[in-house]
Amino acid sequence: MKGLEEQLRKLVEEACGYPPGSVPRQRLLTQIIRLVGKRLWKEGTTYYQDALQQTWLYFCRNICNAYDPDRGTVITWLNVYLRHRLQDAYIKTQEDNARKASASIQQSASGDISAITNPIDNLPASPDPPPILDHVKLWVKLDINGDLHQTHIQGRPDVNCQVLIWKRLPPEVSWKDLAQEYNLSVSTLSSFYQRQCIPRLRQFAETEGYL
């Protein structure tokens, strides 16, 4: 464990020596994430993935200005933040449940029979977007090694995989609208997307165990 702590300390120091958003810095941050990921606190709550994504975003944005290696390891620092986010989510869940219970009691007491007897009103709410979507968005946004941004239609660096994957994530932008936005044909955009962007998206999903 001591060896890992020293390795992480050196990686953080090296990463922070590069400017924010630079490829070398992002590569080093990815390396740190891989080393730390399996050692973070885990639990089976429904809001765990959301809290974890908040933790990684916080890590990427604040590692060089909020983390003090003299006060503990990177793992300890992130675990503290993660536990706080889980506690926030737990409190919010309890408050939401209490409000729903109170509203139900008040509704029953007021004699609003229609809300009770209408089966449509008793259907469960639509589930939140799956954590995989948040994970994909984080992957696209960070583009750690710059591959998505650098992979673009010939002569059009502004039309790259980072942009197109982001725009095609729910709620997706139609190919027709994208064609108008970039003044390119639908076939050109969709063909490039299928040949270059989809394989990268699939590789990410396989690496993360989603496929």
CB contact burial 35-61 (16+ within 10 A = b; e otherwise): ebeebbeeeeeebbebbbbbbbebbbe
**pLDDT value of residue 44:** 85
Phi first, then psi: what are they for 73, rounded to 5°?
-80, 165
Cβ atoms 52, 39 nearer than 8 A: no
**pLDDT value of residue 160:** 96
Give yes or no for residue 198 having a pLDDT over 60. Answer: yes
List, for residues 112-154, the tens digit of each pLDDT value.
444 444 444 444 444 444 456 777 888 888 887 789 999 999 9
Type of residue numbered 61? R
Type of residue numbered 117? T
**pLDDT value of residue 161:** 95
Q: What would the 3-class secondary structure string for 28-91 be?
A: HHHHHHHHHHCCCCCCCCCCHHHHHHHHHHHHHHHCCCCCCHHHCCHHHHHHHHHHHHHHHHHH
Query: Average pLDDT, stretch 179-200?
Result: 93
**pLDDT value of residue 115:** 44
Indicate whether this model's pTM tops 0.75. no
Query: Average pLDDT, stretch 198-204?
Result: 87
* First-last CA distance in the chain: 32
List, for residues 83-103, the tens digit of each pLDDT value.
888 888 888 877 777 776 666
Query: Average pLDDT, stretch 173-187?
Result: 93
